Each structure stands twice: as structure tokens, then as C-alpha cells.
């Protein structure tokens, strides 16, 4: 059965959902996006994703395609039309279609596209086994805090991980881990302290990161926001990643070295449970 895709005001069967070849998202990666998770037919932290979208748009002087209220109702309509109870909604805003030019076009309306992906996100296979990561150089641009669709570098990173028999890659710059290819990265020190890189232009300010750090503080777990090295990660008690669709994903191996006893860590397990149950309370 074909999905219903939203394109600039229309709900269309996916076969009929089309964007111009002149769209700047296609030609220049001049587009930003958000991914919102759905559990039990409800959106997790829609407000967080909407706020970050507005910030991404502002940072690159891109016009908002509609209001947040309109965006929320389009999300709801997409869930209803696609009978989506678990999975994700992908949203992309591009600067629109215009003759190819590096300078931004004047008077062009942004393009808005949404589609759904049904997926088991609660019972992910990584929950029991944990994931293996490799470390690779971070070759991305300097404004990783803006959620743009320039995803070739992370794509190459995932492929490098796959070729090495791993599940994902952690990106390293100037000797320190920035984040994962599509997630924020954390270690748990032997004393139980969680360490994750501080926010800056170097990493994406994860919506899941913000929630998990809040829940960790509420659970009296000490958190340090600072850069850490791969050596520290290898000597850690645990490691994990967070993202909207992974929630809290345990990491059990880095560059073929086991983290702790190589099993899913207690902190990651606990934070994952807290994250899912707490997020569901405020899901809409």
C-alpha cells in the first residue's frame, strides 16, 4: 500500500508526490529537516522539534513555510492518513525552486515535504545487544548545530562502519569525539558520571539529548558536558547514543575494544526506560 506524502499543501499518494528539479534542496542541499518519533499514535516532543526547526530556518535566513500550529496539524493529518501508530514523521523545508544560482532567490516560496515511516522503534534489536561503533575523522561543515540535509559525510561514515562490521561511527575532531553520524554520543565514567560534549556549532543540539540530560539530573546522576576522547571512551564503564528514533541506544564496542564487560550498561538501560515512559506522558 502506498503512503500518503505531503507536498506543498497537498496530500498525495507517494507515486504522485513530486518536487521540482530546480528545488534548491535537490541542487544545493539548501534545506533543513526534522524527524519526530511516534509511539502509540502520539508525537514525542513535537514542541522541541518545532523550536529547533524555527532556529535552523532563522540561522540560514530561510522563510518558514507555515506556522507551528499549521505544522502540528499537518503532522496529525499525516499520522491519520497513514494509520501511523509507531515510527517517524520526516519533515523537510527547502528554500524552494528557482534558477540555479548561489545567491538566494528573491520572492520564492519555500517547499515543505513530509512523509511517514512505520517502524518498530521501541523494540529495536540494539536494546539487548548494544551497538558497535568505529571512530572516524569528522569531515562535516562548521555549522552542525543547523539541521541541514547535507548528509553525505554522515552517510559515508555509516558506510565505513558497515564495511568494518560495525553499526555506526563516532566522529572525531582535534582528538575529541563530536557526536555520532546521526546521534549524540555519551560515555559513563567508572564513577557513574555521564560525559557528553557541550553544545556549540560543532554538534547538533539533540532534542533527545536535552530530555535525557534532564532525566539524568532528576535521577541524581552526575552529568559533565565536555569533550571526551576515544581513549576515555574505551576505558569507560558504558557508552551510549541518543536520537529521536533511537531514544537511548547502548554502545558496547568502540574500534573493536569492548566497553566495560561488553554488555548493555545499566545506566543506558535505565535512561532508555525513563526516556520512553516520561516522553509518552507529554506526547501529543
Q: Which residues bind ligand PMP (CB under 6 A)?
A: 35, 179, 182-184, 204, 206-209, 242-244
How far is it, in rounded angstroms, from Cα 254 to Cα 244? 22
E-only strand ranges, the chain: 4-7, 10-13, 31-39, 42-43, 87-94, 111-118, 131-137, 168-173, 176-180, 184-188, 194-196, 223-225, 238-243, 247-254, 257-258
92 versus 184: smaller Cβ distance to ligand PMP: 184
Complex with ligand PMP: residue 84 or 244, whichever CB lies closer: 244
- Compute the distance between CA of residue 131 and CA of residue 252 in angstroms, rounded to an integer: 6
CB of 261 to ligand PMP, least distance (A): 27
From the CB of 21, what's the least distance to ligand PMP, in Å? 26
**Placement of cell 513530509 in the chain:** 114
Selected catalytic residue, list 147, 162, 222, 281: 147
Closest CB to ligand PMP among residues 4, 126: 126
Shortest spacing between CB 195 and ligand PMP, in angstroms? 16
For residue 214, the minimal CB distance to ligand PMP (Å) is: 13
Strands 131-137 and 247-254: parallel
Q: Is 63 a catalytic residue?
A: no
- Residue closer to ligand PMP, measured from CB, 97 or 184: 184
Catalytic positions, written as ranges: 147
Amino acid at each position: 500500500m502506498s503512503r500518503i506524502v505531503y507536498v506543498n499543501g497537498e496530500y498525495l499518494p507517494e507515486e504522485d508526490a513530486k518536487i521540482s528539479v530546480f528545488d534548491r534542496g535537490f541542487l544545493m542541499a539548501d534545506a533543513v529537516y526534522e524527524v519526530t518519533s511516534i509511539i502509540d499514535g502520539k508525537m514525542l516532543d513535537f514542541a522541541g522539534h518545532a523550536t529547533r526547526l524555527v532556529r535552523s530556518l532563522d540561522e540560514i535566513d530561510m522563510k518558514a513555510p507555515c506556522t507551528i500550529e499549521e505544522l502540528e496539524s499537518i503532522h496529525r493529518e499525516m499520522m491519520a492518513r497513514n494509520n501511523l501508530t509507531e515510527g517517524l514523521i520526516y519533515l523537510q523545508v527547502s528554500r524552494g525552486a528557482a534558477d540555479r544560482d548561489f545567491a538566494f532567490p528573491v520572492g520564492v516560496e519555500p517547499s515543505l515535504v513530509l512523509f511517514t515511516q512505520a517502524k518498530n522503534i521501541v523494540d529495536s534489536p540494539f536494546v539487548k545487544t548494544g551497538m558497535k561503533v568505529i571512530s572516524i575523522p569528522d569531515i562535516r561543515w562548521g555549522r552542525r548545530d543547523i539541521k541541514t540535509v547535507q548528509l553525505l559525510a554522515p552517510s559515508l561514515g555509516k558506510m565505513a562502519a558497515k564495511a568494518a562490521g560495525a553499526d555506526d561511527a563516532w566522529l572525531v575532531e582535534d582528538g575529541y569525539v563530536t557526536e555520532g553520524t546521526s546521534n549524540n554520543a555519551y560515555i559513563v565514567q567508572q564513577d557513574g558520571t555521564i560525559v557528553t560534549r557541550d553544545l556549540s556549532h560543532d554538534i547538533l543540539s539533540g532534542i533527545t539529548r536535552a530530555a535525557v540530560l534532564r532525566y539524568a539530573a532528576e535521577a541524581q546522576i552526575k552529568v559533565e558536558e565536555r569533550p571526551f576522547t576515544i581513549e576515555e571512551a574505551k576505558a569507560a564503564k558504558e557508552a551510549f547514543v541518543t536520537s529521536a528514533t533511537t531514544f537511548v541506544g547502548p554502545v558496547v564496542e568502540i574500534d573493536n575494544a569492548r566497553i566495560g564487560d561488553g554488555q548493555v550498561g545499566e545506566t543506558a538501560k535505565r535512561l532508555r526506560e525513563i526516556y520512553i515512559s516520561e516522553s509518552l506522558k507529554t506526547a501529543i
